Amino acid sequence: MVVSLRLPSLSSLLSPASPFTFSRRALGISLRQQRPFRLPLLAPRFSVRSSSTGTEIHVDNSKNRVPEGAITPRSQDFNAWYLDIIANAELADYGPVRGTMVIRPYGYAIWEAIQEYLNVKFKETGHENMYFPQFIPYSFIEKEASHVEGFSPELALVTIGGGKELEEKLVVRPTSETIVNHMFTQWIHSHRDLPLMINQWANVTRWEMRTKPFVRTLEFLWQEGHTAHASPEEAEKEAIQMIDIYTKFAYEQAAIPVIAGRKSKMETFAGADKTYTIEAMMGDRKALQAGTSHNLGQNFSRAFGTQFTDENGQRQHVWQTSWAISTRFVGGIIMTHGDDGGLMLPPRLAPIQVVIIPIWKKEGVKAEVLNAAASVEVNLRTAGIKVKLDNSEQRTPGWKFNFWEMKGVPLRIEIGPKDVANQSVVISRRDIPGKQGKVFGISMEPSILEAYVKDTLDEIQSSLLEQAKTFRDSNVVDVSSYNELKEAISQGKWARGPWSASDKDELKVKEETGATIRCFPFEQTPGPKTCLMTGNAAEEVAIFAKSY
Quick: pLDDT tens for 247-274. 999 999 999 999 999 999 999 999 999 9
pLDDT of residue 35: 36
Q: Say if CB 450 and CB 378 are below 8 A apart.
A: no
| Share above pLDDT 90 across residues of the chain, in percent, rounded to a whole number | 83
Instruction: Give the model confidence (pLDDT) of 17-72 as tens digits.
Output: 333 333 323 222 222 233 333 333 333 332 333 333 333 333 333 333 334 448 99
Cis previous bond, 410, omega within 30: no
Please name the CATH architecture into which domain 78-337 falls: 2-Layer Sandwich (3.30)
Number of Cβ within a 10 Å radius of residue 101: 23
| Homologous superfamily assigned to 354-456 | Anticodon-binding domain (3.40.50.800)
pLDDT over threshold 80, residue 439:
yes
Q: Rounded to the nearest 5 degrees, what angle is found at the Cα of 393, between the Cα atoms of 390 and 395?
A: 85
What angle do the packed helices 328-337 and 105-124 form, to 10 degrees?
110
**Would you list the domain boundaries of the chain?**
78-337, 354-456, 476-546
Return the half-sphere exposure (C-beta side, CA atoms, 13 A cut-off) of residue 100: 10
CB proximity list for 119: less than 8 A, separation 6 or greater:
129, 201
Sheet holding 387-389, edge to edge: 387-389, 354-358, 411-415, 424-429, 438-443
How large a percentage of the chain has pLDDT more than 70? 87
Which pLDDT score, from 0 to 100, does residue 422 have? 97
Q: What are phi and psi of 115, to 5 degrees?
A: -60, -45
Nearest-angstrom CA–CA distance, 79 and 85 = 10
- DSSP annotation of 152 reads G
DSSP label at 36?
P
Give the per-residue pLDDT at 81: 98
**CA 249 to the chain's CA centroid:** 12
Closest-CA residue to 510 (of 306, 278, 300, 266): 266
* pLDDT value of residue 516: 98
Give dist(CA 18, CA 514) in Å, integer: 15
More confident residue, 128 or 208: 128
Q: What is the pLDDT of residues 413-422, one digit of tens each?
A: 999 999 999 9
Dihedral of CA 32/516/223/148: which sign?
A: negative
Q: Which CATH architecture is the domain 476-546 placed in? A: 2-Layer Sandwich (3.30)
**Which pLDDT value is given to residue 32?**
28
What number of helices (H) and strands (E) belong to the chain? Answer: 14, 28
Cα Rg, the chain, nearest whole Å:
26
pLDDT at 49: 32
Characterize the bridge pairing of strands 128-129 and 196-205.
parallel
What confidence score (pLDDT) does residue 147 get? Answer: 72
Determine the Cα–Cα distance for residues 360 and 377; give it in Å rounded to an integer. 17
For residue 52, the model assigns a pLDDT of: 31
Q: Using CA atoms of 396, 402, 404, 407 in order, give the dihedral in degrees to the nearest 10.
A: -150
For the stretch 67-94, pLDDT in tens is 444 899 999 999 999 999 999 999 999 9
Give dist(CA 337, CA 349) in Å, integer: 12
pLDDT per residue as tens digits for the range 345-404: 999 999 999 999 999 999 999 999 999 999 999 999 999 999 999 999 999 999 999 999
Tell me the three-class secondary structure of 72-134, residue by residue. CCCCCCHHHHHHHHHHHCCCEEECCCCCCEEECHHHHHHHHHHHHHHHHHHHHCCCEECCCCC
Q: Are 243 and 520 in contact (CB under 8 A)?
A: no
φ, ψ of residue 325 in degrees (nearest 5):
-140, 145
Length of the chain: 548
Task: Evaluate if residue 441 carries a pLDDT over 50.
Answer: yes
Task: Supply the pLDDT for residue 149.
Answer: 77
Mean pLDDT of 223-249: 98
Q: Flag whether the pTM goes above 0.85.
A: yes
Q: Residue 7's pLDDT is what?
A: 30
pLDDT tens for 285-309 read 999 999 999 999 999 999 999 999 9
pLDDT digits over 144-171, tens only?
Answer: 777 777 778 889 999 999 999 999 999 9
Cα–Cα distance, 79 to 66 (Å, whole number): 20
The answer to whether 386 and 409 are in contact (CB under 8 A) is: no
